[in-house]
Chain A
């Protein structure tokens, strides 16, 4: 193929196709992103699970004598409160540790609810096509036209913001990507031989969908799930930051940023610490998702 090209084009071609070294480097990088992502998530998960034993103080205990103590790297910081205290004297590290529970819980449960809704709709649309597909596509288009943050804010203020409200609202709103992926993956499987064989054998419909179709689209759905966990965590933080999500005195990271906002000009650490934690967690989940996508698509990351 290269023989038929002009010399300048061949030179360009060689620039465009990566050498095998780069490709090897790339694949280790991808595995590494998977490994780094998993490592961070696992350690945060353990921290969240063992929060009552790991946190040095009670995250709700106010201590008005020790308000706004800076973290240990400041001159006036102390090791009693390694990450300092907030405006009510509550230990920042303990709040951060308990906050990981909120983020992880909401992320996982939202992905579970939205995954259930989206996968059901998507699989049905992809398998049956025709009218069913038209109805699901219509629901999807309508859902996509709704501004998520705005609708979630309005509904949360209507119902009353709480962890439960936020989880349910986001679960009911974030199913779009699951539906899109499940639909197109099922469409490709519909005419697969093993699905046709199951149909010919007279297997009941739930059996075909759950045992033949679902396991074969699970890989793609897991990648979507990681994206949605990250998305839900960011949205929970946004809603809590705007005062319509998890309510005080809960140590939600978004709420901690909102509470620190007035102090951020003189003590930026009050927002950099919870913001950094949020960034780390979401970054780790995205790295995991990227790694998983590359595992399921051996062609590389051309997308």
Chain B
């Protein structure tokens, strides 16, 4: 087991390193940095001075190691636009995005697991068909459009929730639904297929043969095993959601990491962009690593791979 954890951690670290190289090259590709920092009015001498001050006259490798060393210490440099530390901006916005992501995940799990279980138990019934219909339509709905539709219906027409803003918990409801709905189909399908598979297993037959109550068989024996891969998928989906927050936060004007990223991209504020790409990628890497370890801890067959 420890060999597996060690190997996976090593792979995760090298993937993180590759991603950091890619993020760094993003900044290099964006053109002459000294010119962008100096702005249009800077003279040639001023640009030269900036080049020296920011260390841009040094070899690229040296610049990269300096940037990486900073990134390891959570120092991503200064934003061109806000003129403040990138990390301060990120720390300020992170709670909104995390709240949104976790709320969206809770909604997705709360809908997909019960629906998946019922669909598997009543296979072929109207509930099963409805669950499948939800899965198919959910995957076809562009999430920004779904978000806008939620605003029209629940914020403008019914006025149940505010259309924008993160001042109160009500502001998080619609964006979390819009974000969570997107992850629901995959998790519901996995719950359903997992339950179908588990219900045919020998130990379920044994449990039934012992005369255990149906509820006990379903919840204590079947669901507990069927839900493991769903939990692992949920970790991965949370990583996806942090990336998808770009769209939803823009639609709902939430002051989170995603909106910061979008603003930074449209203002060519590359230190912020690369920091956010790296942070979200790291979240994803850590979450998938945890999911892998969780899966392997619970299913020893996976460790051999």
- Taken residue by residue from 208 to 251, chain A's Cβ proximity to chain B (1 for < 8 Å, 0 otherwise) reads as 00000000000000000000001000100110011110000000
A contact residues around B18 at 8 Å (CB): 142
Knowing A142-B18, A257-B148, A265-B156 touch, does A12 contact B140 (C-beta < 8 A)?
Answer: no
Q: How long is the Cα–Cα vector from A284 to B123 in the complex, in angstroms?
A: 24
Q: Are A257 and B144 in contact (CB under 8 A)?
A: yes
Knowing A142-B19, A147-B284 touch, does A279 contact B142 (C-beta < 8 A)?
Answer: yes
Q: Are A154 and B273 in contact (CB under 8 A)?
A: yes
Knowing A8-B211, A150-B261, A157-B265 touch, does A234 contact B244 (C-beta < 8 A)?
Answer: no
Specify the chain A residue showing the minimal Cβ separation from B185: A286
A contact residues around B151 at 8 Å (CB): 264
- Taken residue by residue from 8 to 35, chain A's Cβ proximity to chain B (1 for < 8 Å, 0 otherwise) reads as 1100100111110011011001000000
Name the residue in A149, A154, A157 with the highest tally of chain B Cβ atoms < 10 Å from its Cβ: A154
A contact residues around B234 at 8 Å (CB): none
Q: Are A9 and B121 in contact (CB under 8 A)?
A: no
Which stretch (A50-58, A84-92, A162-170, A270-278) binds chain B? A270-278
B contact residues around A243 at 8 Å (CB): 266
Interface of A is mostly: helix
A contact residues around B137 at 8 Å (CB): 279, 283
Q: Are A279 and B141 in contact (CB under 8 A)?
A: yes
Q: Judge if B34 is at the interface, Cβ distance under 8 Å.
A: no
- Taken residue by residue from 108 to 123, chain B's Cβ proximity to chain A (1 for < 8 Å, 0 otherwise) reads as 0000000000000111
Q: How long is the Cα–Cα vector from A138 to B266 in the complex, in angstroms?
A: 31
Specify the chain A residue showing the minimal Cβ separation from B193: A303
Q: Are A146 and B281 in contact (CB under 8 A)?
A: yes
- Taken residue by residue from 4 to 22, chain B's Cβ proximity to chain A (1 for < 8 Å, 0 otherwise) reads as 0000000100111011001
Specify the chain B residue showing the minimal Cβ separation from A239: B247
Total cross-chain contacts (CB, 8 A)? 153
A contact residues around B265 at 8 Å (CB): 153-154, 157, 244
Q: Which of the residues A8, A148, A268 comes within 8 Å of B152, measured between beta carbons?
A: A268
Size bracket of the A interface: 35 or more
Knowing A15-B121, A16-B121, A153-B246 touch, does A145 contact B15 (C-beta < 8 A)?
Answer: yes
A contact residues around B49 at 8 Å (CB): none
Specify the chain B residue showing the minimal Cβ separation from A7: B211
Q: Are B124 and A8 in contact (CB under 8 A)?
A: no
Specify the chain B residue showing the minimal Cβ separation from A155: B26
Knowing A15-B121, A146-B19 touch, does A234 contact B142 (C-beta < 8 A)?
Answer: yes
Interface of B is mostly: helix
Residues 203-224 of B contacting A (Cβ, < 8 Å): 205, 208-209, 211, 214, 217
Knowing A8-B211, A153-B265, A237-B142 touch, does A242 contact B250 (C-beta < 8 A)?
Answer: yes
Q: Are A154 and B208 in contact (CB under 8 A)?
A: no
A237 to chain B, nearest CB (A): 5
B contact residues around A275 at 8 Å (CB): 142, 145, 148-149
- Taken residue by residue from 125 to 167, chain A's Cβ proximity to chain B (1 for < 8 Å, 0 otherwise) reads as 0000000000000100110111111110111011000000000
Q: How long is the Cα–Cα vector from A290 to B240 in the complex, in angstroms?
A: 23
B22 to chain A, nearest CB (A): 7
A112 to chain B, nearest CB (A): 21
Q: Judge if B29 is at the interface, Cβ distance under 8 Å.
A: yes
Q: State the A residues within 8 Å of B (CB).
A: 4-6, 8-9, 12, 15-19, 22-23, 25-26, 29, 138, 141-142, 144-151, 153-155, 157-158, 230, 234, 237-238, 241-244, 254, 257, 261, 264-265, 268, 271-272, 275, 278-279, 282-283, 286-287, 290, 302-303
Given contacts A146-B22, A154-B277, 15 further A-B contacts (CB under 8 A): A5-B208, A15-B121, A29-B129, A145-B284, A145-B288, A147-B243, A149-B246, A150-B243, A153-B246, A242-B246, A242-B250, A264-B151, A275-B142, A282-B139, A286-B136
The 4 A-B pairs of least Cβ separation, nearest first, read: A147-B243, A22-B124, A9-B208, A283-B140
